[in-house]
Structure 1
Amino acid sequence: MRRVIREPLSEETLARLCQRTLQIARAGNDPKHTRTSDRCQARKAEADRLWDQEKTKAFDEIDRVLRRMAPGNEQCMYCECSKGSDIEHFWPKEKYPGRAYTWENYLWACGICNTHFKGTQFPRDAQGKPLLVNPTDEDEEPSVHLQFTPSSGKLVGLTDKGDWTVRVLGFDRRANLDRDRRDAWRGLQNSIVQYAAACARGDENLALYTQGVICRHPMASVLRTLFDLLDSPRGAELVDADCRAAIHAHPEIRSWP
């Protein structure tokens, strides 16, 4: 999983989201709801009603911006492998209807991560903070909580948040993701070697193209792991010699995603 930079929305769309949030709040504040459970259910019902009919200009913009933010070619922000297809509520709207229309709560996800695995699961710690990694979190890099293992292709948790993320999103039991990460580990190294070879030949077009391929790769988080391991005692063991030489000759590669 890689860090995703959240882009801004237009004032018009933000106003629309704010309006919807107020509608949900008003539904729960209706005087006829005398019990807390009734107020919560009313807010949930209103959020579901509004969401089911949401085919507006504002959501055309939200869909477009999330796709642009997503890694690679509109890939899932969680697994980076499958094509994204859904606006995902990080805090599930079924449990937290007051966040159903919050821009910072939206991610772009594939149906497998969003529906088959995560669903309404949302573990929190004793302070109420999420125990899932949010790829758009401005304060933390996903690599603080998750580590890629080149030999197996697996993502493993480094913290409680990382462990919960692996468990909830099924990263510990999705062999296809392990395979794709291993392929990315090999493929990115090959592309780096190709970039260096193109530079050596003076083939600027091929060098720029190869750079673009590497930077657009949906599993760019694998590239960050490669750089980290390169500087570790295990670098010589895990990173191919030709790739190590290419990065040494072209340190600008380290500034890529």
Structure 2
Amino acid sequence: MIKLVRQRLSSELESSLVRLTQELAGTPIAERIEHADRMWDRRTVRRDVYRPVKDELETMAPGLDCCMYCGNHMADTVDHFVPKSRCALRTFYWPNLLLACSTCNSRFKRDQHRSDGLVGSLLVDPTRDDPIEHLDLQLESGLYRAVEGSKKGQWTIDVCGLNEGKRPRAREGAWRSLGGDLKGWARARDEGRPDDMRFHLWRMRDQPFADVCYAALHKAVSENAGAIFVDTDPHVLALLRDEELRALLLL
């Protein structure tokens, strides 16, 4: 997962979300969840609200429309962070909407939700929380581990299935590809080939599981970098610390 900045909506889209929320608020409490489901599936809502909301979320997503939970690219659904079944009034609440792949949305997360015991969720919200404070991505294995003492981290790993199936292997592959592109970018810079520099930069920024690149950049300047990258090509670590490249990758 990657920390994201939530965009401001156009006044027209914001007004539409407020109007739909007001409609829900006027529905008897016992009927709200069912009514929220019907509203979400309305043809006009799918056309005039769902599609524009998804477009806005895609501009926030790293890589090529990466899922805001697992990091895989080409996410294709809008997820309710707090499920409609738990709080119908958040169905059209902009801070409650995240871009997600269908696997996270329908297979893993579904309507699971747990409070953190205060006023938030036990699930990491990348637009509110900094995932790095709760989740530690092991680059060599592609596995996520919860930061020591973080209940949010472990709950997020379990609920979103971050270590399920082929996801760890895909992240491991992304890490190996990243090393090759880092060195390819450096060679192109040294040889004055700007087109090749742009090509490698594009690959690094738009590869599936963009969280691998962001995790590597963060770890490269951490206090434990020496131990983390002990088996890594020193040239790769130096490039992860290169100020010019970091500025381009951390846009």
TM-score > 0.5, shorter chain as reference: yes
One of 29, 36, 39 as aligned partner of 1:50: 39
Residue identity opposite 1:45 in structure 2:
E
CA distance in 2, matches of 1:50, 1:83: 26
Question: Which of 111, 115, 134 is 2:125 aligned to?
Answer: 134
2:246 matched residue in structure 1: 254
**1:10 paired to 2:2:** no
Q: 1:219-234 alignment to 2 at 5 Å?
A: 219-231=209-221, 232-234=225-227
Q: For 2:66, which of 66, 75, 97 is the aligned residue? A: 75
Following superposition, the deviation at residue 154 of structure 1 comes to 0.5
Q: 1:184: Cα distance to partner?
A: 1.0
- Residue in structure 1 matching 2:237, options 225, 241, 244: 244
Summarize the Cα distance change of 1:200–1:82 in structure 2 as closer, same or farther, 3 Å threshold: closer
Q: Residues 12 and 58 of structure 1 are in contact (CA less than 8 Å); yes or no, is this contact kept in structure 2?
A: no
Q: CA RMSD in A?
A: 1.8
Match of 1:32 in 2: none
**Taking structure 1 as reference, are residues 119 and 247 closer, same or farther at Cα in structure 2, changes over 3 Å only?**
closer
> Does 2:86 align with 1:95?
yes
Q: 2:158 aligns with which of 142, 164, 167?
A: 167
Write the distance in 1 (CA, Å) between the matches of 2:176 and 2:94.
36
- The one-letter amino acid paired with 2:97 is Y
In structure 1, what is the equivalent of residue 75 of structure 2?
Answer: 84
CA deviations over 1:2-52 (Å, ceiling 9, x no partner):
122222221111111111111111112xxxxxxxxxx2x212122122112
The answer as to 2:50 corresponding to 1:64 is no
CA distance in 2, matches of 1:218, 1:134: 20
Q: Unmatched 5+ residue regions in structure 1?
A: 29-38
Specify the code of the residue in structure 2 equivalent to 1:251.
E
TM-score, with structure 2 as normaliser: 0.89
CA distance in 2, matches of 1:12, 1:229: 41
Correspondence for 1:149 among 138, 157, 164: 138
Q: Could you tell me the percent identity over the aligned residues?
A: 29
Distance 1:101 1:225 in 2: 32
Task: Return the index of the structure with the highest Cα Rg.
Answer: 1
CA, structure 1 residues 239+228, in 2 after alignment: closer, same or farther (shift >3 Å)? farther
Q: 1:60 to 1:221 in 2, by over 3 A?
A: closer
- Residue equivalent to 1:194: 184
The Cα shift of 1:101 comes to 0.6
Mapped to 1, the partners of 2:86 and 2:167 lie a distance apart of 29
Q: Distance in 2 between matches of 1:223 and 1:82?
A: 13
Aligned length: 242
C-alpha change, 1:143 and 1:245, in structure 2 (3 Å) is: closer
**Letter in structure 1 aligned against 2:235:** D
Contact 2:124–2:131 under 8 Å retained in 1:
yes
**Preserved CA contact (<8 Å) 1:85 1:108:** yes
Letter in 2 for 1:192: L
**Which aligned runs of 4 or more in structure 1 are off by greater than 4 angstroms?**
none
CA distance in 2, matches of 1:115, 1:82: 16
Q: Residue 229 of structure 1: CA displacement?
A: 3.5
Q: Which residue of 1 aligns with 2:21?
A: 21
Q: Which amino acid aligns with 1:49?
A: R
Q: Unaligned 5+ residue runs, structure 2? A: none
* 8 A Cα contact 2:220 2:240, kept in partner: no
Conserved in 2, the CA contact under 8 Å of 1:71 and 1:219? no
SS at match of 1:175: coil
Residues 51, 230 of structure 1: alpha-carbon distance in 2 compared, 3 angstrom cutoff: closer
Tell me the alpha carbon deviations over residues 158-195 of structure 1, each in whole angstroms, 9 at most, x when there is no partner.
Answer: 111011000111223x1311011101111111111111
Aligned to 1:36: none
Code of the residue aligned with 1:44 in structure 2: it is I
